[in-house]
Amino acid sequence: MGIINKKYKNLSNLSNKFINSSPFPHLVLDNFLEKSFFKKITDDKKKLNYSKGKFFKNEVEKNKWISKNTNLPKNVKRIVEELNSKKWLNNLKKLSKIDSLFSTKVGNSDLANYHEMRSDGYLGSHIDHSSDPETGKPHVLNIILYLSKYWKNEWGGSTVFLDSKGKKIKKKIFYTPNRAVIFLHTPYSFHGVSKIRNNKINRSTIYIDYYSRSKNPYNKINLRFNKKWFKHGTCFVLPKISDYFKLNNFYYTKTMFKYKVNQATNNFKLFLNR
C-alpha cells in the first residue's frame, strides 16, 4: 500500500509556484496521503501514550502536546519514515532548489514529530530552531501534515504565516484533513496556529523539518528579504512589549534577545561586505 498520493511523487513542476508564494515560499497539497492509508491513522492515534509526551500551557503555546521521547504508533511512524526517505528528499530538492538538503538523524528522540492541540489551544507567532541539533547545519524547510479525520473551518486551528517581523498575519491556511503544507524556513519565516474553538476533536499534525549542508542555502531562491542565514533558537514574538519583562517569560525574552543580537551582527557583516 502506498503512503503519499502518487500525484505528489514529482514536485518539480510546482517549484515556481512554491518559490513565488507569499509571504515566503510555500506549497499546499491536499489529499496528501493515499486515502486508504489516511483512514488507518484515526485508530492508530488511539495508541498514543500521552503520559510520556510534553504538554504546554502558557501565553504563546497553549493546550499543546508533543510526542517527545515517546514511541509513535505504527502508521504514524511509517509517515515519518517516508517523509525522511531519500526518495522524498530528492523530491523536495527539486521543489525547493536546495540541492544540499538532508533530514536529521536525531529523529523523535530530540525533535517531536507528532503534535496535538486541544480546544482553546493556540500557538503564537514564532520561528523554529535554526540548526540541526546534531550537525549545527541550517534548518531550511518544514512540512506540516494535518491528520485529524474531521474538521470545520470555524473551529480555527489554521496555520498562519506572518511578516518578516512576526507581527502581521499575511496568510491563513485552513486546517483541512489530509492536507500538507511545505514551507521554506528562514530566520524570517514567522508562523503560528490560530486559536481553536472546538471541544470535541484535537488538532493532530505531523511536523518534519529539513536541513542544508550549505551555510548559504537560499542562494538559488529569490526571496523578498535577507537571504543570509544566522543562528537562533525557537523564538516567539510576545503579544506586548511588557510581556518580555515578566519573570515567567524569561526563556522567551532570552531567546528573542539572542535572535536580535545575531540578526544585528549578521546585518552588520553584510553591510561591511558591500
Three cell numbers written together for 42: 484515526
> How many whole angstroms separate alpha carbon 255 and alpha carbon 15?
33
Mean pLDDT score of the chain: 91
How far is 54 from 65, CA to CA, in rounded Å? 6
Q: Model confidence over 73-93: pLDDT tens digits?
A: 889 989 999 999 999 999 999
Report whether 270 contacts 230 (CB < 8 A). Answer: no
Single out the residue of 202, 171, 194 nearest to residue 23, CA to CA. Answer: 171
Residue 248 has pLDDT above 80, yes or no: yes
Could you report the per-residue pLDDT of 187-207, keeping only the tens digit for each? Answer: 999 999 999 998 789 999 999
What are the strands, taking DSSP E only, across the chain?
A: 26-29, 54-57, 61-66, 101-103, 114-127, 139-146, 159-162, 169-173, 180-184, 191-193, 203-212, 235-236
pLDDT band at 108 (very low <50, low <70, confident <90, very high): low
Furthest C-alpha separation in the chain: 57
Q: Name the pLDDT band for 69 (thresholds 50, 70, 90).
A: low
Q: Is the pLDDT of residue 231 over 70?
A: yes
Confidence at residue 268, expressed as pLDDT on a 0 to 100 scale: 78
Domain segments of the chain: what residues? 6-225
> 70 versus 207: which is more confidently predicted?
207
What is the pLDDT at residue 71? 73
What CATH superfamily classification does 6-225 receive? q2cbj1_9rhob like domain (2.60.120.620)
Q: Decide if pLDDT at 107 tops 90.
A: no
pLDDT exceeds cutoff 70 at 151: yes
C-alpha cell at 56: 504546554
